[in-house]
């Protein structure tokens, strides 16, 4: 497990998803796409954070186990949902028997792992035969998607200033890795959200409260200042600031 990644999430756990409910919005879309649970169906949420998927899945009737490598995230999750089964655990080494769960989910987690393909195999191991794995992550820009701000272009431009291994998360071949791990019926769907943002500073604060913060922190100081100034100028030039984002939902059956 990358201690840098987990430390970052530990640092931001108290404000995570509180500035703008970005992960909660995607979590809802993911939960909506899960099949209705049968009696006693068990769901494992890997890298659960503050519960964007776990809490909604429990409300839908699953018996949920939420896991995360960040003690800070698990502490906050337990504070807010004392009766939720939440445990500190590395996604690369799940402390469960084979064939334990009916469904596994992971919201914006798999691409952060040191070895995403091994993480996919580990989830397969703990799923019952026929169980569903549904996980979200970034990916190519979906057809017809239009950015509502210049942030993504700025991230692309400033990536050249990151030190080696700066930023967070590596893309991987999600569909191929699901197939290689033995999942079947694999599909992908793009999910989209749109949130109103009151002002440019709120947008900036939002960037500080999740994994993107590592990108900003890893920039050399003068580039970080330039990045912030250009982002704020871009946002302030707009009549309305809207956080419009997409993610990909990947699904496969064990």
| Helix 221-236 / helix 200-207 crossing angle, nearest 10 deg | 140
The reply to whether 92 sits near ligand SAM by the rule CB under 6 A is yes
Segment near ligand SAM (CB under 6 A), from 43-51, 154-162, 193-201, 241-249? 43-51
47 secondary structure, DSSP code: T
CB 91 within 8 A of CB 113: yes
Residue 1 beta carbon to ligand SAM: minimum distance, rounded to whole angstroms: 4
The reply to whether 1 sits near ligand SAM by the rule CB under 6 A is yes
d(Cα 78, Cα 67) in Å, to the nearest integer?
A: 11
Taking CB under 6 A as the criterion, the residue among 110, 112, 132, 219 binding ligand SAM is: 112
The reply to whether 151 sits near ligand SAM by the rule CB under 6 A is no
Taking CB under 6 A as the criterion, the residue among 25, 34, 48, 241 binding ligand SAM is: 48
Choose between 30 and 241: whose C-beta lies nearer to ligand SAM.
Answer: 30
d(Cα 133, Cα 178) in Å, to the nearest integer?
A: 9
Taking CB under 6 A as the criterion, the residue among 31, 43, 57, 73 binding ligand SAM is: 73
d(Cα 90, Cα 73) in Å, to the nearest integer?
A: 13
The residue sitting closest to ligand SAM, measured at its beta carbon, is 49
Neighbours of 252 (CB within 10 A): 26
The reply to whether 58 sits near ligand SAM by the rule CB under 6 A is no
Taking CB under 6 A as the criterion, the residue among 62, 101, 108, 133 binding ligand SAM is: 108
The reply to whether 252 sits near ligand SAM by the rule CB under 6 A is no
Residue 116 beta carbon to ligand SAM: minimum distance, rounded to whole angstroms: 10
Taking CB under 6 A as the criterion, the residue among 90, 122, 149, 177 binding ligand SAM is: 90
Query: What DSSP letter does each residue of 9-70 carry, written as one string?
Result: HHHHTTTTTTSS-HHHHHHHHHHHTSPPPPTT-EEEEET-TTTTTHHHHHHTT-EEEEEES-
Instruction: Give Cβ neighbours of residue 143 (< 8 Å, ≥ 6 apart).
Output: none
Residue 210 beta carbon to ligand SAM: minimum distance, rounded to whole angstroms: 6
Contact set with ligand SAM (CB under 6 A)? 1, 5-6, 9, 23, 27, 47-49, 52-53, 68-70, 73, 90-92, 107-109, 112-113, 210-211
């Amino acid at each position: 497990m990358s201690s840098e990644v987990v430390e970052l999430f530990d640092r931001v756990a108290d404000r995570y998803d509180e500035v703008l409910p970005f992960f909660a919005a995607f979590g809802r879309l993911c939960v909506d796409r899960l099949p209705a649970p049968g009696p006693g169906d068990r769901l494992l949420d890997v890298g659960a954070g503050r519960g964007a998927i776990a809490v909604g899945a429990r409300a839908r009737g699953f018996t949920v186990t939420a896991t995360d490598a960040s003690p800070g995230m698990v502490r906050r999750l337990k504070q807010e949902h004392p009766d939720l089964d939440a445990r500190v655990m590395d996604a690369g080494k799940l402390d469960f028997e084979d064939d334990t769960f009916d469904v596994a989910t992971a919201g914006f987690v798999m691409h952060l792992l040191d070895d995403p393909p091994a993480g996919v195999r580990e989830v397969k191991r703990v799923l019952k035969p026929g169980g569903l794995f549904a996980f979200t992550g970034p990916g190519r820009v979906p057809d017809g998607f239009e950015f509502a701000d210049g942030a993504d272009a700025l991230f692309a431009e400033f990536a050249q200033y990151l030190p080696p291994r700066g930023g967070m998360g590596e893309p991987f071949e999600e569909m191929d890795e699901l197939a290689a791990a033995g999942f079947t019926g694999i599909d992908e769907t793009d999910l989209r959200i749109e949130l109103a943002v009151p002002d440019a500073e709120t947008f900036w604060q939002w960037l500080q409260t999740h994994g993107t913060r590592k990108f900003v922190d890893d920039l050399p100081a003068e580039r970080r200042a330039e990045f912030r100034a250009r982002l704020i100028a871009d946002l302030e030039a707009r009549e309305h600031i809207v956080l419009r984002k997409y993610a990909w939902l990947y699904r496969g059956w064990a």
